[in-house]
């Protein structure tokens, strides 16, 4: 079982690095195209990427108590992911001046898509 978890850890490390790189490229490309939209896109992307990062850390890398079941850790990680998402979305809506909601949600959904697709593609590619 440890070999399976170690393989999943390394795949998620690679997936998070890949997603971060892709999101950075998209933000730089968007800022070259339209300067005022990059903060909206970046806010949306971070509101999706950072909670996923918290979840992956909680599930794979946090040293938890040995008597805690894996499902309990999963549900706590998912709850923390929702809480961080809500805080970041509210923070972006309140703190980013001239937030373009369309580009915010474009960034959010692209990061959400990458959160799910990159680990899937890496698992199929690294067999």
Residue pLDDT, tens place only, 66-112: 556 777 888 888 999 999 999 999 999 999 888 889 999 999 999 99
The predicted pLDDT at position 3 comes to 73
Residue pair 43/99 in contact (Cβ under 8 Å)? The answer is yes
The predicted pLDDT at position 107 comes to 93
C-alpha 122/C-alpha 109 separation (Å) is 20
The predicted pLDDT at position 98 comes to 87
C-alpha 63/C-alpha 61 separation (Å) is 6
For residue 28, pLDDT beyond 80: yes
The predicted pLDDT at position 97 comes to 85
């Amino acid at each position: 079982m440890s070999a399976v978890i170690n393989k999943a850890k390394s795949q998620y490390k690679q997936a998070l690095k890949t997603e971060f790189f892709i999101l950075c490229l998209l933000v730089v490309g968007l800022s070259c195209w339209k300067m005022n939209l990059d903060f909206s896109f970046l806010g949306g992307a971070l509101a999706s990427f950072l909670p996923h990062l918290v979840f992956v850390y909680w599930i794979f890398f946090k040293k938890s108590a040995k008597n805690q079941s894996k499902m309990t850790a999963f549900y706590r990680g998912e709850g923390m992911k929702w809480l961080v998402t809500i805080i970041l979305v509210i923070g972006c809506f309140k703190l980013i001046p001239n937030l373009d909601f369309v580009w915010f949600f474009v960034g959010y959904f692209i990061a959400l898509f990458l959160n799910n697709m990159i680990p899937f593609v890496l698992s199929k590619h690294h067999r």
